[in-house]
Structure 1
Amino acid sequence: MLLSLVSVQILSAAEKPNILFIFSDDWGWEDLSCHGHPYIKTPNIDRLAAEGTDFYRFTVASGVCSPSRTAVVTGQFPARFSIDGHFAWVPSNAKRGMPDWLSPKSPMLQRMLQKAGYRTAHFGKWHLANNMIPDSPLPSEYGYDEYGAFNCAGEQMPYHEDSMHCIKFIEKSVAEDKPFFVNLWIHEPHTPFHTQPKYQWRFRDLPEDDNIYASVLSHADDRIGEVLDALDRLKVTDNTLVIFSSDNGPARASKPGTLELKYDTATGAGWGLNGAKGITGGRKGYKATVFEGGICVPFIARWPKKIASGKINKVSPISAVDLLPTFCALAGAEYPAGYKPDGVVQVKALLGQDRNTERTKPLFWKMPVKVNSDKIGGFHWVTYATMNKKWKLLANHDLTHFELYDIVADPMESTDLKKQKPEVVKELITSIKGWQQTLPKEPTGDVFSTLRNQK
C-alpha cells in the first residue's frame, strides 16, 4: 500500500527511509538498455527500473556539472550562488565571475538530514570546488560524516573505489541502526574514459569508440550492482529509496576527430572526448545546453512497496531543486531558519499519487554564454531559460532572441511557438527579468582562493 504524504511525514525515526542518491556524470537519457540503447548493457540500472518507476520528465538545473550539483545539495538555483559554469582553476573562475567553491555556509541537504538523525556520506566526484584549488574546503566541511572524493582538495579517491566505500559506510550505518543518506556520485561516462580489459572484452565486436563508451558504462553499472546487492544482503532494500540520475546530458566533441589519450589531474589518463557516444533519445542538444538533450536526464526511483514497480511516468515534471524538499519531507527534516527552496516537495509524484503535467512553481536556468541575436545557431546560444506550467522559453543573454515550446505536448522541442503565442513570450520574458533581479551581481563571502592574490 502506497504511503500518503501525510503518513510519510509522521514516520518514526526507526521507519525513516534510507536514501541512496546515485548521480552519474554526462550519462545520456538513452544510454541505458532499458531506454532502448542499441548496444549498451546496464542490467543493474535496468533492475532499478523494473523494481521502481522510471520518470521521463526529470530535469537538472544546468547543462554542466558544478551548477547542477549545487542545485541538488542546496535545493536552490545555482545562479543564486553565482555558479553558472563548472569550477575550474582560479584564473578561469575569476574571468567568468564565479566563486572558487560553493560556500560551506550555504544551505545543505545533508546537514538538514543530519539534524533529523541521519548518518551522511559522499563518495565519488565532488566538483563543488576543484582539485586544482588546494585551499578549497574539504567535503567534510559540508555536513558529511564520511567522504571519499575526487575533483576536490586533498587526496583524490580512485574513482572506481566509490562502491567499495559506499558499501562499508552502509554496513556501518546498519550496524548502528541509523538511517543513512549517501551521495554516490560516479565518474562515468565523463572523460577521460578509463577502460579496463574485462569490460572492453564484453563489447569486443564493437568499433573501438563504441567499445570504449559501452565498457565504461558497463563498469559503472557493475559497481551500482555491488551496492544494490549489499542492500539486499543487509536486508535494508525495502526501506531504502534509491535514485539513479545524471548531472547533465551526454558530452559530444564539437567535430569528428581521432581517439586520443588525455590526462585528468583528478582521475588520471584515459580516452578523450572523441570516444563520447552518448544518446539523448531524440532530444535537442547535448551537455552544456539547456535544450532538453542537455538537461532532461535519466531519473529512476525505487522504494519497494512505496514506489510502484515496473512503471513509466511520462508526465510528472520533477526538477533537481525538488530533491532537497522531497528528501527532507521523507526524512522529517526541518529547514533552517529563513531558508526557502526553489523546488517543491515531490513525494506524491514519486508515489504515483500526483500525475499533473504542469509545474505550479517556475523553473529557471542560467548558462555562462553570451551570443548576440545575429549570431544565433546550434544549441549553445541560450543564456536564460524558464519553464512555467506547460511552457518553456529559451533566450539569449540580452533577451532579444528566444524560442517557445509547449514542453508537455512537445517534449522534443520540435515546434517553436513564439509567433503564435506572443502573450506567453511576453509573460515569460517578464518573469526572467524579475528572476534576474533576485540574483547576486557577483559572488560574495569566503568563496575565493588565496591564489587570486598571486600575480
Structure 2
Amino acid sequence: MIRQKLLGLLLVLAAAVPVQAAERPNILLILADDWGWGDLGCHGHPYVKTPNIDRLAKEGTDFYRFTVASGVCSPSRTAIMTGHFPARYNIDGHFAWVPSNAKRGMPDWLSPQAPLLPRFLQQVGYATAHFGKWHLSNDMIPDSPLPSEYGYDRYDAFNCAGEQMPVHADAENAIAFIEECHRHDKPFFINVWMHEPHTPFHVVPKYRWRFQDLPERDNIYASVLSHADDRIGELLKTLDRLRLADDTLVIFSSDNGPARAARPTELELMYDTATGAGFGIAASKGTTGGRKGYKAALFEGGIGVPFIARWPGKIAAGKVDRTSMISAVDLLPTFCELAGAELPLDYQPDGISQVKALTGTQTSTREKPLFWRMQSAWPIPRAKPYHWASYAIVHGQWKMLTNRAGDYRELYNLADDPLEQKDLSKMHPDVTRRLQSEIESWQATLPESPSGGVFSELRTTEAPGPDKE
C-alpha cells in the first residue's frame, strides 16, 4: 500500500513538472541602441521599413508609455540588469576611458556582485546568454569583468573586455543558442543587444540598395535599421521553425532615444575601437514621434522608447496600450515572476512586476514613483534646448524635471499631455514642491561615490584619452 501511494505521488509530481515548465516562458529581450520611438513602420515613419518589428506589434501589444531609466546607454542597461535606478551605482553616464569615468565620479564597470537578472533566472534553471553590445564596462578597460561573470552561460559581445564580436553576428549567435536549448528542452533567457542605429553606421550594400532613392543620410539610416529588422526576422523565423513561438516572450525595445547632431555636421567616416569604421553622427536621422529632445535628455524624446511585447495566447495581439506606465526597472521583477524566480529577501527592487499589465488583466497606473539622474548642462544649451534636466520624477500623472541646483523646474501632466507641451509648474506650485521634496528624499538614499571592486588598475596609470559613447 505504501509503495502504491509513493508510486502514485511520483506520477503526480512527474505530471506536474512539465505543466509548470510550460507556463514559464522562454524570454528573448531584443534591445536596440539609440532607436527612436518614431523609427518604426508601425509608428508611422515615412520611409523606414521594419516589417518584422511591425509583425511583433501585430501579434503582440505595443506599449506607448514605456520609459528607460536614463537618456544614455550604460545607466539604461544597468537598470535592466539590476531592477534598480542606475544612480544607486553612481552610473549616471556611459562607461568610457578610465580617466573620464573617474572625472565624472563613476565606477569603471557595473559590479558583478550586484543583484542581476540573468543570475536570478539561471538559479531557477534557465539557460542564459548575451549576444551583442555590452557597455556595462568598455572595451578600453582590459581588466574589466567579462559578461560571463554576470550570470550568463554563453556570451559573444562588443564594448567589453576581450575579443569583440562582429556587430552583425548577434542573431546568428542567438539562433544557435536557441537551437541548443531546444535540443536539451531547456528554457532560455537571451539578451540580443543590437548595435543599430548607434554610430558608426556599418552599412551593407544590399540594404543601401533597398533605399537607393533616398538622400544619402536618410539612405544610410534606413539601411542600418532595415538590416537590424531583418536579423530580428531571422530570430522570429527560428522560433516558428522550432515551434517555440507560443512558449516565448519576445520584447523589442531601445536603450534610449535617437542620437542627433546638435548642429549642422559634415557626413564623414569615423572609427570605433569596438566596432570598427562607419559613417558618423551626420547620418543620425532618428525620430521621436513628436516627443521633446533626443538621446541624453530626460524629456520623453530621450527616455520614451519603443516597447513591443509578444507572447501568443498570453499577451493580446494587435493591441496598443496607451496608459500602462512601465519602466526598464520593472523588467527584472516581471521576468522573475514569469520564471518562478523568488527575489532574495534582502533585495528591494525599484521596479515592480508588470505581469498583469503585459497580459492585459490590469492597467498599470503605478503608485511607486520613478526617478532619473543625469549629468546635464546648465544654463540651458542653445543647441540642445531639452538637455538641461539633471533630475526627473514621475509620480502618478505628474512628471517634474529640475536642473542640477534645483532652482529651475518644469511640471507636466503626462496623462493629458504626453508630449510635454505645457509647463504647469506655476499653476500647481503645491505639486511642484511635493515632487521636489520626493526627489530630495530619494537623493538622500543614494551613495556619494562608488565602492567595492569596480575600479580598474588603470586608474593610477592612465593619462586622459578618448571618450566615446
Aligned to 2:335: 327
Maintained 8 Å contact 2:37/2:43: yes
Aligned to 2:291: 283
Pair 1:381 & 2:388 matched: yes
Correspondence for 1:448 among 436, 444, 455 = 455
Aligned to 2:30: 22
3-state SS, counterpart of residue 359 of structure 1: coil
Pair 1:350 & 2:354 matched: no
User: Tell me, which stretches of 5 or more residues in structure 1 are unaligned?
Assistant: 1-9
Over residues 304-357 of structure 1, what are the superposed CA-to-partner deviations in whole Å (9 max), with x where a residue is unaligned? 01101011111100000000000001000011240011001101110111124x
Pair 1:312 & 2:320 matched: yes
> 1:47 & 1:382 partners in 2: Cα distance?
36
TM-score, normalised with respect to structure 2: 0.93
Over residues 50-92 of structure 1, what are the superposed CA-to-partner deviations in whole Å (9 max), with x where a residue is unaligned? 0000010000000000000000010000000000000001000
TM-score, normalised with respect to structure 1: 0.96
3-state SS, counterpart of residue 249 of structure 2: strand
Quick one: structure 1 residues 198 and 116, their matched pair in 2 at CA, closer, same or farther if it must change by over 3 Å? same
3-state SS, counterpart of residue 47 of structure 1: helix
Maintained 8 Å contact 1:112/1:336: no
Correspondence for 2:79 among 68, 71, 83 = 71
Pair 1:125 & 2:160 matched: no
Aligned to 1:199: 207
Aligned to 2:192: 184
For 2:30, the aligned partner's letter is I
Maintained 8 Å contact 1:372/1:397: no
Maintained 8 Å contact 1:13/1:117: no
**RMSD, matched Cα:** 1.4
For 1:335, the aligned partner's letter is L
For 1:122, the aligned partner's letter is H
Aligned to 1:100: 108
Correspondence for 2:415 among 401, 408, 411 = 408
> 1:342 & 1:11 partners in 2: Cα distance?
31
Correspondence for 1:149 among 132, 135, 157 = 157
What pairs up with 1:214-253 in 2 under 5 angstroms?
Answer: 214-253=222-261
3-state SS, counterpart of residue 368 of structure 2: strand
3-state SS, counterpart of residue 73 of structure 1: helix
Aligned to 1:5: none
4+ runs of 1 displaced by more than 2 Å? 372-377
Aligned to 1:4: none
What pairs up with 1:45-64 in 2 under 5 angstroms?
Answer: 45-64=53-72
> 1:126 & 1:264 partners in 2: Cα distance?
14
Quick one: structure 1 residues 374 and 229, their matched pair in 2 at CA, closer, same or farther if it must change by over 3 Å? closer
Over residues 342-393 of structure 1, what are the superposed CA-to-partner deviations in whole Å (9 max), with x where a residue is unaligned? 001101110111124x320000000012525899971111000000011000
Quick one: structure 1 residues 251 and 184, their matched pair in 2 at CA, closer, same or farther if it must change by over 3 Å? same
Maintained 8 Å contact 2:262/2:383: no
Return the index of the structure with the highest Cα Rg: 2
Correspondence for 1:429 among 428, 436, 451 = 436
User: How much has 1:453 moved relative to structure 2?
Assistant: 1.4
> 1:335 & 1:277 partners in 2: Cα distance?
41
Maintained 8 Å contact 2:79/2:329: yes
3-state SS, counterpart of residue 263 of structure 1: strand
User: Tell me, which stretches of 5 or more residues in structure 2 are unaligned?
Assistant: 1-17, 463-469
> 1:428 & 1:230 partners in 2: Cα distance?
47
> 1:11 & 1:69 partners in 2: Cα distance?
33
> 2:375 & 2:31 partners in 1: Cα distance?
23
> 2:376 & 2:328 partners in 1: Cα distance?
22
Aligned to 1:6: none
> 2:361 & 2:243 partners in 1: Cα distance?
27
> 1:402 & 1:374 partners in 2: Cα distance?
16
> 1:278 & 1:323 partners in 2: Cα distance?
25
Maintained 8 Å contact 1:252/1:287: yes
Maintained 8 Å contact 2:381/2:388: no
> 2:194 & 2:187 partners in 1: Cα distance?
22
Quick one: structure 1 residues 331 and 68, their matched pair in 2 at CA, closer, same or farther if it must change by over 3 Å? same
Maintained 8 Å contact 1:119/1:145: yes
